[in-house]
């Protein structure tokens, strides 16, 4: 029963103390590397994208949707597996997500470096690889432009997430949230309901319901548990609550109603035969 979870989160203060000066230096270096690599990629792409605007526009739009998926996948990984004690990723990636469930408002007190350092680090190798592609070929130009949009939206992701937790975000931000163009607060609130097991996408959230109903992350969790014996969310919720959640039935698969009414013309439009 989910009502009897008895969640045991980690200690809030210990999680905050895990944000060490070394982690902060790592974040500053990541932001500097991100700016350098994205400028390089942007300069390589700009003249070629202007010459092929439709290809560029479709690649940019696909990159934005891909960012929503990547944000969900990384968030799910960091929420579900591992501990803050793991080397490197434990302190830099897993700890902030553990802290975020214990204290969702803490993100609104983060400055630019703490908000964006991690995401910049993830983007640097992807953007560098995109800049090295043979951009004179349309296919690779499409891939590189998509990667550029993806990295830009990934940079925006933690900012959108932070705004979704603010009591009074700027006016323009509220308009974008209401239009569904960046992560809306009410939509993201679904993720913050224990046991924090769905709606992981935090760029805009367009993919959340589809991934949940298609059992995307639930299936991955089942496969990983079968292969490794690891229990999803054990470090985040405590063993008892994680076991209760793992036993929960899967959500119903979406039903596709093929209501074609193939026999409709015959049955519906029968002319009435009147006697002479």
Q: List contacts with Zn ion (CB under 5 A).
A: 79, 196
Q: Compare residues 106 and 243 and give the one whose CB is closer to Zn ion.
A: 106
Indicate the residue among 27 and 99 with the shorter CB distance to Zn ion: 99
Nearer to Zn ion, 79 or 114 (CB): 79
Q: How far apart are alpha carbons 95 and 93 in whole angstroms?
A: 6
Give me the count of residues in the chain: 276
Q: How many CA atoms lie within 13 A of 55 on its CB side?
A: 18
**Considering only CA atoms, which of 121, 148, 146, 122 is closest in space to residue 43?**
148
Compare residues 180 and 254 and give the one whose CB is closer to Zn ion.
180
- As a whole number of angstroms, the distance between CA 95 and CA 54 comes to 41
Burial classification of residue 15, based on how many CB atoms lie within 10 Å of its CB (0-12 exposed, 13-18 middle, 19 or more buried): buried
In the complex, the smallest distance separating the C-beta of residue 52 from Zn ion, rounded to whole angstroms, is: 38
Of 77 and 224, which CB lies nearer to Zn ion in the complex structure?
77
- The neighbour count for residue 273, using CB atoms within 10 Å, is 5
Please identify, using beta-carbon distances, which residue of 63 and 72 lies nearer to Zn ion.
72
Residue nearest to Zn ion (CB): 79
> What residue has token string 């500097």?
32
**DSSP letters of 183-209?**
--HHHHHTTTSTT--S----SS-TTHH
Q: 19 vs 196, which CB is nearer to Zn ion?
A: 196
Report how far apart, in Å, the C-alpha atoms of 157 and of each of 90, 116, 146, 160, 222 are. Answer: 20, 9, 16, 5, 28
CA distances from 135 to 29, 34, 125, 139, 242 (A): 28, 20, 17, 8, 47
- Give min distance, CB of 242 to Zn ion, in A: 14
Considering the complex, what minimum distance in angstroms separates the CB of residue 11 from Zn ion? 18
Give the start-end residues of each E strand in 101-207.
none
The C-alpha torsion from 198 through 202 and 203 to 209, rounded to 10°, is 20
**Closer of 120 and 237 to Zn ion (Cβ):** 237
- Could you tell me the smallest distance in angstroms from the CB atom of residue 89 to Zn ion? 16
Q: To the nearest whole angstrom, how small is the minimum distance from the Cβ of residue 209 to Zn ion?
A: 17
């Amino acid at each position: 029963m989910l009502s009897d979870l008895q969640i045991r989160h980690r200690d809030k203060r210990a999680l905050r103390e895990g944000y060490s000066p070394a982690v902060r230096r790592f974040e500053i270096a990541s932001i500097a590397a991100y700016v350098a690599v994205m400028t390089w990629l942007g300069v390589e792409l700009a003249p070629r994208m202007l010459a092929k605007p439709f290809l560029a526009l479709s690649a940019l739009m696909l990159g934005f949707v891909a960012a929503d998926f990547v944000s969900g996948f990384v968030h799910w990984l960091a929420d579900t597996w591992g501990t803050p004690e793991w080397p490197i990723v434990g302190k830099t990636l897993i700890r902030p997500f553990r802290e975020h469930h214990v204290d969702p408002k803490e993100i609104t007190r983060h400055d630019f470096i703490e908000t964006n350092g991690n995401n910049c680090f993830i983007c640097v190798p992807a953007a560098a690889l995109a800049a090295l592609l043979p951009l004179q070929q349309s296919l690779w130009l499409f891939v590189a432009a998509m990667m550029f949009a993806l990295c830009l939206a990934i940079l925006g992701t933690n900012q959108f997430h932070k705004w979704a937790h603010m009591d009074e975000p700027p006016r323009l931000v509220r308009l974008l949230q209401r239009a569904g163009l960046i992560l809306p607060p009410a939509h993201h609130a679904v993720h913050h309901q224990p046991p924090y097991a769905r709606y992981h996408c935090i760029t805009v959230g367009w993919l959340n319901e589809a991934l949940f109903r298609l059992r995307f992350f639930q299936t991955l969790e089942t496969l990983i548990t079968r292969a490794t014996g690891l229990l999803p969310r054990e470090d985040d919720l405590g063993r008892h609550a994680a076991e209760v959640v793992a036993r929960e039935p899967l959500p119903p698969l979406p039903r596709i109603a093929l209501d074609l009414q193939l026999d409709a013309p015959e049955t519906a439009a029968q002319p009435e035969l009147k006697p002479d």
